[in-house]
Amino acid sequence: MTADATRRPRSVTLAVVLLILGTFVAGSTAVGPDEAPALAVLLGAACLWFAVRAGRGRRIARTTVTCLTALMLALVMPFALDDELYGGATLLFAALLAASGVVLLYRPAADAYVRARSEEAGT
């Protein structure tokens, strides 16, 4: 295995940043100044953990962060759309960030990186 095969592509790093920003924005949109939906905060923390693990080339973490991101966005949508002033636009922005991160995790360079890391780990 060459060093280039296990070197993390920039797209994976960008994907992790976009996933973290997207779920943070979605979670903070759902959390108003007087309320803190515990499930949104918990899902945001789980997305953060699995996004970092996916950035390290873990196949299971990549799949899990994809599912958690979809669940997070579906869960916070009622909270975000409740605020007519900026909630819908903020949720759309968060969804675009997170969806872009998920797409980048499945690009060919990222897939080769995950495959190389899996072979390196022996799984």
Torsional sign, CA 21, 40, 44, 69:
negative
Q: What is the pLDDT of residues 66-118, one digit of tens each?
A: 998 888 778 777 766 676 666 677 777 888 898 899 999 999 999 999 889 88
Distance CA 54, CA 64 (A): 9
Which SS3 state, helix, strand or coil, does residue 1 take? coil
What is the pLDDT at residue 96? 86
Q: What percent of the chain has pLDDT over 70?
A: 79
Rounded CA separation 114/26 (Å): 27
Distance CA 16, CA 55 (A): 6
pLDDT score recorded for residue 95:
82
Determine the 3-state secondary structure of 23 from DSSP. helix
